[in-house]
Each structure stands twice: as C-alpha cells, then as structure tokens.
Amino acid sequence: MKTILPITVVFLSVISSQSFAQFSIPKYEIGLSVGGYVYQGDLTPGRFGSLKTIRPGFSLSGARLLSDVFSVRANISYGRLVGNESLYSHPEYRQQRNFKFSTPVWELGASVVYNVFGTNLRPSERPRLTPYITAGVSLAFLNIKRDWSGVNTSYFGESSTVISGLATDTTHRTPSVLPVVPIGVGLRYSINDRWAATVETSYRITVTDYLDGFSDAANSGQKDYYHSTSIGIVYRFIGSKGIKCPKF
C-alpha cells in the first residue's frame, strides 16, 4: 500500500499537467511556382496551342485551409503570350498570312482548391502524393501588340475574307483587362509537414476572340484561350490547438 500510493500521486500529477494535449493544425500556406505559358487561338495550328511559342512565367500564392477537403487560394502571376504564324509551314496559308502578336499577362485571381484525398488538416496522416483540382475567377491585364505587316495580299486577293476581315480587325480595340476562368489540376508531394512540391496545369477560359488581336481575318467563330504548366514549392504555417482531456 505504501508503494502504490506514491506511484498513484505521480501518475495523477502527470495527467493533470497534460490536461490539454497539443497537436499541429495547418491553417495558412504560401507558394511560389515557375513554368511556361502557351497561347491557344487563331494563330496556332495545334488544338492546344504550340510549344514553339511557349514563354516563361511565375506565380505567388497564399491559401487558407478551410477543411480537410477545401481551401481558398489567392494568387498573382505573370507570363507572356506569343503567336507567330511564320513558324508553321502547314497549312500553307499560315506563312502567307503571317500574323503575329505578343502580350504580357499580369493575372490576379482567387480559386477554390479541392483536395481529392481530404487530408488538408491532418498533415502527419496525409499521403506524400496528393492530387487536387482548382477552379476560380481572375482578371488578366494585357498589353496586346499585333502585327499584320507580313501578310501576302497577292496570295489571298483583295476580295478574300483575310483582307476584308483585316480591315475590320485593325479598327477593333483589343482588351486591356480580361476576365478569365482558370480551371486546373495538380499534384502535391509532401516533403514534410511544412514543405511540399507541386506540379500544376491551369487552363484559362476567356470571353474574347481578340486575345491575339485578330478575329474576322482569322477564325471569328472561336474564342482564344491560354494555359500554363508550372512546378512550385509550398510552405505551410502550422499552429497548435488544445484538446481538453478528461480529468481524473
């Protein structure tokens, strides 16, 4: 009895001092990524644009983790979009039309991020490789420079839709601020509870056919788009939250 009593007292003292257990809860994270921007529109033969005119870009982001599944993310990004028909020999008319354009793209946006495995708030339990899906809204700030000086008028003829459409396009104002809808997918690789590496592809849906500066002279029935693929690093800020344990 004399031996049991001191042990009991020590045990109860430890339990009392640990009445609030602590565990890590991630709430916020910041990220930096670099990658390439690809224009997709009337001046490229490929359905998803062309790697011949890919240009580098970067993005800074900040996110708030709302639940195991959802988080909201704000970002600012910069890239360039370029189109140049002289780079493509097929179909033949592209080098004869020879339209070109370029623009910087500053993008401010917000999106919802869906964690497929639902482990946002449990960093110690999450798999190292986690897929995610994003969707949101952004504003793209542009400064479009278009060039039609290389068009071969004798190849098309004065009555062609290229020449008549060009007369319309050159009087049409190009957008300087453009709403876009970014939709993306990504993979996150957890290095530890705080650091992660990411790969993400984001496709931007626009509401204009003048992203490249041309419409009637090219393909007025289809909007212009762009997309980016990037690799990045993410840092999570981890705080602590107490859980009240039962008292003895």
Residue-level length of the chain: 248
Q: What is the DSSP string of 224-243?
A: -EEEEEEEEEEEEEEEEEEE
The whole-model pTM stands at 0.84
Query: Which three-class secondary structure state does DSSP give residue 162?
Result: helix
d(CA 63, CA 29): 5
CATH number of 22-241: 2.40.160.20
Spans of the chain below 50 pLDDT: 7-22, 242-248
Radius of gyration of the chain (CA): 27
CB neighbour class for 57 (10 Å; exposed up to 12, middle 13-18, buried from 19): buried
> What's the confidence (pLDDT) of residue 119?
83
> What's the confidence (pLDDT) of residue 35?
98
> What's the confidence (pLDDT) of residue 235?
96
d(CA 214, CA 209): 7
> What's the confidence (pLDDT) of residue 238?
82
